[in-house]
Structures are given as C-alpha cells and as structure tokens.
Chains A and B, each alone.
Chain A
Amino acid sequence: MFRTGFGQEIPRYLDDLLWVASFVYMADRGVLRYTPKDVFADRWCRGFRMVVPVWDLALWQDPKVQLALDETLRFLTGDEWSFEFVQRAEGEPIQKVLHFHEPIHPLPRADVVILFSGGADSLAAVLEAVQQGHRPVLVSHRAAPVVDARQRNLVGLIRKRYPAWDFPHISMWVNRKGGPRTKEQSQRSRSFLFASLGVVTAAMLGLDDVRLCDNGVVSINLPQSGQNVGTFLTRSTHPRHLELLQEFARILTGRAGLTIRNTFIYKTRREVFEDIRASGHPELLQETVSCAHLEAMTKQQPHCGVCSQCIDRRFASIAAEMQMYDLAKRYEKDIFIGPLGEGVERTHAENYVRFARLLEELPNADAFFKQFPELYDCLPTDGNPDWHGEQLWSLFQRHQQNVNGVLDLMIGHHAALIRRGTLPPTSLLGLMGRGQHVVDPRDRCAHRLRDLLCSALPSAFQTEEARSERHVQDVGEAVFQGAMETLYRETPQLPFGAVTTKADFSDLPTDGAKPLFLEFKYVRGRDRLNGIQTEMTSRVLVYRQQGACVLFIVYDPNAAITNIGQFTVDFECHEGVWVGVAR
C-alpha cells in the first residue's frame, strides 16, 4: 500500500498501477538479457510471466486493460509479457520503499504534470510550460542519491527564477532494497514506471495533461548502424510508446481526455536548447545532466563525453551557440580532439557522424522512409500520415544540418592541429580521415564515374580487342550515356561532357559550376605510354585554363603501366583532375 503526501490515500487502482509498474521494473532489472558472448542476441527478447496481486481485480482482469498493458510493455521493452492478476490480501504492511517523498498539502492548483528527469530536455519542458502560462507539477523517479540531489538543485533554481509558482516536486524512490544484485542495466521498462508516477499524480490532482518530453531525434532514436536493431535502442519517449501508454492510461483511469505527450517530438536538441535560451535563463542548461553514466561521474565533470547522449548534447550546444553554458571542460573527454578508446567510445562517435552523413545523402522523404522503415512506427494511428511523414523528414534533415555544420565548424576550429598532423587519429575529427566526409561532390562523382568505366571497359572488349583509341572512346561513351540518368540524379549540380576528339568549351555553364570532362586514352603497348603521358599533361593545362575538371580513363589491357599508383598521382596532384586505369 502506498501512502501519499496529498492528505489522502491513493485510490486502490492507482496503488495497483504503481505496484504493477514496480514489479515490471524489478523483473526487467533482475533478468539478464544480454552477455557479450551472445553475438546473435538470442537472449535479448525475454519472456516474463508475472503473477501480481492487485486490489481492483475486476479492473485488471478486463481484457482491454490487459491487452493495452501487454502492447505497451512489448513495444517498450521488446519482451513478451504475460500477466496473471490475483486478489491482494487485506492487512499487508505498508510499502516503505515506495512513497511520495515531499508532503504536499493542500492540493496545488496545478494544471499540467511534467515528468522531470533533471536533463536538459525536461528542464526545457518546464520552461516551455511556464512560458505557456501553465502551473506545472514536477514528477521524478529517484534511482540514485546523486540524481536526487541534482533534480532538487535544479528545481530550487527554477523556483528562484519564477517565484509566482511553487513548482511542487514529487519524487519517488523506486529501487531494489536487499535481495540479489540487479543484473540487467538496460532498464527499458524504466519509462513505464516513470510515466506511471505521472499518471498517478495526474489522476490524484484531477489533471489530464501529462508531458514526457525529449527531443524528436532522441525520442525516435533511428538506428545509426546495422547493429542497432529493435529495442537495442531505447523507446522511452517514442511516439508509438506514448500513444500506447496513453491508451492504457485512459482505459485504466477512465479519463478519456487524459493525454501523455511529448511536445518536443518535432524539435531537434539544438532547437530545444534554443528554447531554453529564449526563456531568458540559458544559465540553467549548465545545471542539467544528460550523461548515460551519471552515477560514475564527478560534480566537476558530470558528462563522460563519449556516450551517445553526451555526444548529441555537445553537438547541440555548439550548434545552438550555447557553449558558454555547456563548457567543454565539464566533459571528461573532448569528443572532437580526444583519443577515443576502441569499442563503445569509437563506435558511438563514428556511428553518430556516419548517420548524419547518410541523412545528408538522402534526396527526399520517400528515400528517407525507404532507408529507415523504423519510421513507420512513428506514424500515429489517427491523423494525417503524410503530414507526420513530412515533419519527420524535416526534423532529421535539420538534425543532419546541425551535426554536419558543427563538424565543419570544429574542423575549422582545429585546423592547426590538422595541419600539423597532431590530431589523434582516433578522435572524432581524426576519424574523419582525410576529410572525406566533406569531400567535394565533384570528387565523389568523378570516383563513381571512374569506377563505372574502369569496370565496364574490360568487359566490353572481352571478345573483340579495341581497334583504336576512338573505338575505346565510343564504347566508353556508350557506357557513360547508359548510366547518365543515374549519375545526373546523384549529383545534379555537375554538368558532364565526353571528349571524343577535343574538348568543346563553347557551352560552359554560366552558373559558375565547373564542368567535368571525360577523356579516354588507349595504351596499346609500352611504346605508346610516354606519348600518352605527354598528351595528358598538356590536356591538364588546357582544362585548368578553362576552369574545367577532367577525368582521364586510361584503357591499358596489356598492363603497360607498371605502377598505377605513381602514374595516377602525378596527375591527380592537380585540383580537378582524376585518372582511372582500366585493364
């Protein structure tokens, strides 16, 4: 039984909800779902059969309640859940582990419940509600003392800035006391417990507005690499989870108007940070912590800097130009220039920038949905799917622009380290290699074209030897023409020209784009090699004078070129010149 500080006892069906949520949380933590040896994650999805005593047996045995609970937990945790509810006996001792900590009397005149973790996004949710004229009640789950202290500190600071409202803060301890050590760290069900606290509070205060807020990119949590499948990625504030949770809470409480929502679902973290700044209290950002390892961190450096949350926070604060409220020295490791350890550190960092790069490559919302079919889970059951689809596309495009923009900025910022060659190769900027993430699109286009032609030419001359350079040019041009539509689609900004006899510069684009010309060479034997090199050298001069780029395709079926690397580098050292050798 739960005692409350509301001056009244908690209704029995809500007492049951906390009881069920606590059981689920403890079961989730008590059964290991993954070991490093389980490469195929065969033990990731677990099956739970729970026998739970409840007061309001008829309500919990209602198939609608059971189905809604089952669907909510399955989506959130990826596990199979089966519940058998039995009658709870009278006279059980009062639960001492679970209790509302702060006495609140009389009932506050609040109008919205905000689930408050102490992170930047939940702070922004509070500030947003205040800006909207609301009087929020903050509800927290205290999993550890350090978290509690941080949340209390932040609430105190908010109260000082907005003295017109008390910001009642209900914080509940829910953790293991005695018994075996908790085994599983993933805690996918924690959000259900957290939200249940919010629902109970809302029902006790007669409120219908519960907010569980996190920025859209983190909420949707798209896979950044192939190894991220299903609930390997948390779904705490995923739109489908909130939809299922809301349905469950409505059925359970009988409050048809109850909403559980994330007001930041279509905002990037940068935009959430900008909201904090717009509130007039940007300094509060530095009092929030986003790190996944918060218990292991110090007061001076509360962020590890290398977990997915820290990486995203660091990028967002730079993108929002709020570094002065999110100092680099508060991160144990500087993600940009600090060496990253093999394994988790490097994988998070590399996946993060790779994901942004992939998003940058996608041409439209159709391609986005095809690339990430997980997005279909984000569409609401009711509502206009196309509108939501467009919002999702726009959200992730803004995200990639933020991330790629920050990378460009930081490369510039650390240009001296890069120039001196003293940047650790395993730092995030070091992982960018030779800056290939910002390679000129002409480079990528030329490389694709080169690969296409170099693989096609030898096949084209399998049965019939090339008769002359003109013959090679004709075949090459045919290959090029066949693939032209695709190439244009990939890099629409590049005009092409294929050189058969001599370059025609009469039709150069007027928009400043450099045209890319293709020139074919045929090395019949070693005796032709010197002549061809001389021709190519003179051509390079002409193309450069005309402000054009050139891709030489050298067909060398008899391997007359002994060192392809040296042969190509002599030409490719000039900007806008590429060489491919086909044999």
Chain B
Amino acid sequence: MGHIRLGRLPKTRKWRAVFSALESAAPNAPDLAAATAEAAEERFAALAGDPIINFCFWTLVRIATSARSGDFTDELLRLGFRVTSFTSGLSFVHQLSQAVERQSRLRGEPNVFSRMAQLGLREVVSANILEQSRSLFGTETVGIQAAWRALSTEARFGRVARQFFADLMSRSLRYLVDKELSNHVGPEGSFASPSVVLEFHKSLDGYCFESAKIVEEFASGWFSKHNWQSNNNITEANTAGFTAYAIEKIAMELQEGRR
C-alpha cells in the first residue's frame, strides 16, 4: 500500500535539450519550459483535440454563465451534479469533481493530461471561490453563486480561462520535468535543495501564467461574443475551437519564450 510509480525521461536526442536545461548552472523556467514544450510538441498538439479537456473548460463556462441567470441550480443538474444545495465551497467543488468525472467517461478514454485538466478545473474553481468568498469553508450555495456571478463578466472570465489553461500547461510541464529533476538536487546539482525546487516550480507556474496572457485577451472577447450569440447558452461544441486555440497558443508561446 502507498506505492508510487515513478518514470524517467528517455535519454534520446528529442529530450537532450531538457537534460541540458536541467544541468545548466542556473536553470530557469523559460529555458526549461521551451525545451520541454519542444520535446513534447506532438503530444501537446494532440491535447488540443482532447474531449475531456474541452469538457472541463466548458464546465467552467457553464458555471459562469448560469451564475448570471436564475437557473443556477438547474444548470448544475444538467452538468451532472447530484446535489445542488451546498453547505460549503468544499462540498461544491466535491460535487463538481464527481460530476465531471462521471461525465468525462462519456467523452473518451482518460489519460494523464485529462486527469490534470480535471485537477486544474478543481484548482481554478477553488481559487476563485476563495478570491470572492475568502474561504472554501462555510460558503453556502448563495455565496458560491454570487462568487461565480462576479467572475462571469467579460474581463473576469478571461482571467479564469487564462488560469485554467496556464494550470494545465504548468501541470503538464511539471509532470515531465519532475521525472528527472530530483537527480539534479543537492550541493553538486543545479538545484541546491528541495526548497529551491519548490521555488523553481513557483517560477514555472508564474511563467506559464505569463505565457497564457494571450488566452486571457482572446477569451474575454470570445466569451462575450458567444454568450451573446447563443443567448447565454454556449455549447460544448462551441468551446472546442477555443480550447484547441488556447492550448496551441500557450504551447507556441512556451516554445518561443527563450528566443
């Protein structure tokens, strides 16, 4: 019990730049992100068409739009929630997590990246409830709806979309980089200690967020336009194009970052 499966990156030409970035005297987020995004280019490109990742983003869209209307709880039921009365932010995200998991099964085979998208969705929803309501504990249904209503404006939703895609990309990079990173920790390594690794992860997260700026700008306009055109009813098919665009753009930004 309590076993953990670990993996390593292959020492092939494709991943050579990642090893070089890890071995450099002063590893930095842009170089490592660029090298990793380049090595994983094909796999990252495939994420653009992943139906579960798109479903996670669409769920964010639906929560935000329904919070503005009177049928918040009805929309939650349509999204697969089994309970629509919440005693706290924790119970809301818990129900959301289970609903998304159930619905995801209907959309395709799971993989590590779709799992990361689900976790990213939970993180973004938690962060925004926290930002609006100050705590995940004790915030009830009315407070949760109010929090999401505040986030459903054009500008605020752009920010939420940026958080979601930046988080997905950051998790994807850390998933790969962490397969090797521990071998470079210590007085003789590029990372002086585990604490330095934590700082590095933070800078990698921050760098992904910066790289996703273009998503925020585009998402704001996209959200406003499609919401208006669809009369507050953006469909899952509507978001597929945006999801693909967002992933492609961030991956491209990361690859070009060090140039």
Contacts and interface: CB of A to CB of B under 8 A. Distances in A.
16 contacts: A37-B10, A39-B9, A39-B40, A191-B1, A225-B178, A226-B177, A236-B2, A348-B4, A358-B198, A370-B126, A386-B87, A389-B90, A432-B186, A433-B187, A433-B193, A439-B195
B167 to A, nearest CB: 10
Contact of A431 (B97, B119, B185): B185
B7 to A, nearest CB: 6
Interface in B59-102: 87-88, 90-91, 93-94, 97
Contacts of A37: 10
Interface string A34-48: 101101111011010
Contacts of B182: 225, 346-347, 349-351
Interface string A358-384: 100100011001100110110100001
A374 B119 contact: yes
A425 B186 CA distance: 6
Contact of A342 (B176, B183, B198): B183
B109 A80 contact: yes
Interface of A: 34, 36-37, 39-42, 44-45, 47, 74, 78, 80, 117, 119, 121, 186, 191, 214, 218-219, 221, 224-230, 232-234, 236-237, 292, 307-309, 312, 342-344, 346-351, 353-354, 357-358, 361, 365-366, 369-370, 373-374, 376-377, 379, 384-386, 389-390, 425-426, 430-437, 439
Given A389-B137, A431-B193, A436-B196, A308 B2 contact: yes
Interface string B188-226: 100111111110010000000000000000000000000
A284 B120 CA distance: 44
Q: Which of A227, A229, A354, A374 has the most CB of B within 10 A?
A: A227
Given A357-B198, A366-B135, A237 B175 contact: no
Given A41-B112, A385-B87, A347 B187 contact: no
The secondary-structure label for the interface of chain B is helix
A121 B113 CA distance: 34
B28 to A, nearest CB: 13
Contacts, number: 208
B13 interface: no
Given A41-B112, A431-B185, 11 more contacts: A36-B8, A39-B10, A218-B2, A233-B5, A349-B182, A358-B198, A370-B136, A385-B91, A389-B90, A426-B188, A432-B193
B111 interface: yes
B110 A431 contact: no
Contacts of A44: 111-112
B195 A309 contact: no
B27 interface: no
A379 B91 contact: yes
Nearest to B82: A381
A377 B87 contact: no
A138 B27 CA distance: 53
A42 B122 contact: no
Nearest to A393: B137
Q: Which of B97, B110, B112, B181 has the most CB of A within 10 A?
A: B112
B155 interface: no
Given A236-B1, A347-B6, A376 B122 contact: yes
B106 to A, nearest CB: 12
Given A226-B174, A230-B115, A312 B2 contact: yes
Given A369-B136, A433-B185, A350 B7 contact: no
Contacts of B176: 39, 226-227
B107 interface: no
Contacts of B248: none
A214 B119 contact: no
A344 B135 CA distance: 38
Contact of A228 (B4, B97, B196): B4
Given A348-B4, A389-B137, A434 B187 contact: yes
B252 interface: no
Interface string B1-25: 1111111111000000000000000
B50 to A, nearest CB: 12
A309 B193 contact: no
A558 to B, nearest CB: 24
Nearest to A191: B1
A268 B126 CA distance: 26
B184 to A, nearest CB: 9
A370 B126 CA distance: 6
Contact of B127 (A117, A226, A312, A370): A370
A78 B110 contact: yes
Interface in B105-132: 105, 109-113, 115-116, 119-120, 122-123, 126-127, 130
Contacts of B194: 350, 353-354, 357, 431-432, 437
A234 B179 contact: no
Contacts of A227: 6-7, 174-176, 178-179
Contacts of B179: 39, 227
A214 B3 CA distance: 12
A434 B192 contact: yes
A194 to B, nearest CB: 10
Contacts of B88: 385-386, 389
Q: Which of A121, A224, A226 has the most CB of B within 10 A?
A: A226
Given A225-B178, A226-B177, A439-B195, A42 B5 contact: no
Nearest to A448: B199
Nearest to B170: A226
Nearest to A225: B178
A435 B97 CA distance: 39
A229 B115 contact: yes
B162 interface: no
Contacts of B241: none
Given A234-B2, A343-B8, A385-B91, A45 B109 contact: yes
Contacts of A425: 186-188
Contact of A376 (B97, B120, B127, B174): B97
B149 interface: no
Nearest to A240: B98
Contacts of B113: 40
A369 to B, nearest CB: 6
A307 B6 CA distance: 11
A39 B7 contact: yes
Nearest to B43: A40
A41 B187 CA distance: 32
Contacts of B130: 366, 370
Contact of A386 (B6, B90, B112, B191): B90
A309 B185 contact: no
A376 B2 contact: no
A430 B187 CA distance: 7
A232 B7 CA distance: 10
Given A41-B112, A434-B192, A434-B193, A36 B183 contact: no
Nearest to B2: A218
A237 B210 CA distance: 39
Nearest to B133: A366
B190 to A, nearest CB: 11
B1 A361 contact: no
A45 B3 contact: no
| 8 closest A-B pairs by CB | A226-B174, A433-B193, A218-B2, A373-B122, A354-B194, A436-B193, A433-B192, A350-B182
Contact of B1 (A218, A353, A358): A218
A232 B185 contact: no
Nearest to B183: A342
Contacts of A229: 112, 115-116, 175
